[in-house]
Amino acid sequence: MYQNNNQVLGFYLPGFGDGGISAITEEAGIELLKMRIVETNKIFIPEENKVAYDYLISNGYIEEKVIHRMIIGEVFERKPQYCYSRIGGFAG
């Protein structure tokens, strides 16, 4: 968990799926992402999160492939800029 002034700004779930990271500030997202990339050389982020993308590229990661998002039913609101690592293909 990333906190500032007793407010949770982000969290990292290392043991769940692909190790999901969500954060509402760029600082929290990058700090948690730093923890995540120590553990793996593979990470999935939404293309809308340019902050995470730029950070990973500047640290030697390369874009290998693009995975398309597919849904069925009603479209729901999502905020991909807050996703710094997906939980898994089964959960976004």
Interval 45-54 mean pLDDT: 93
What digits encode the pLDDT tens for the residues 10-37?
A: 999 998 878 899 999 999 999 999 999 8
Tell me how far CA of residue 62 lies from CA of 19, 25, 53, in angstroms.
19, 24, 10
The count of domains in the chain is: 1
Global confidence as pTM:
0.83
Identify the helix (H) or strand (E) that includes residue 53.
Answer: helix 50-58
91 found inside a domain: no
Residue 46 in any domain: the answer is yes
pLDDT of the residue at 73 = 87
Q: Determine the Cα–Cα distance for residues 27 and 40; give it in Å rounded to an integer.
A: 20
Answer yes or no: is 30 within a domain.
Answer: yes
Contacts of 63 (CB under 8 A, 6+ apart): 57
Structural domain harbouring 52: 2-85
Q: Is residue 9 part of a domain?
A: yes
* 92 assigned to some structural domain: no
The residue with tokens 């593979």 is 42
Residue 90 belongs to a domain? no
Task: Indicate whether 72 belongs to any domain.
Answer: yes
Assess if residue 13 is contained within a domain.
yes
Lookup: tokens for 26 = 């760029």
Mean per-residue pLDDT for 40-61? 92
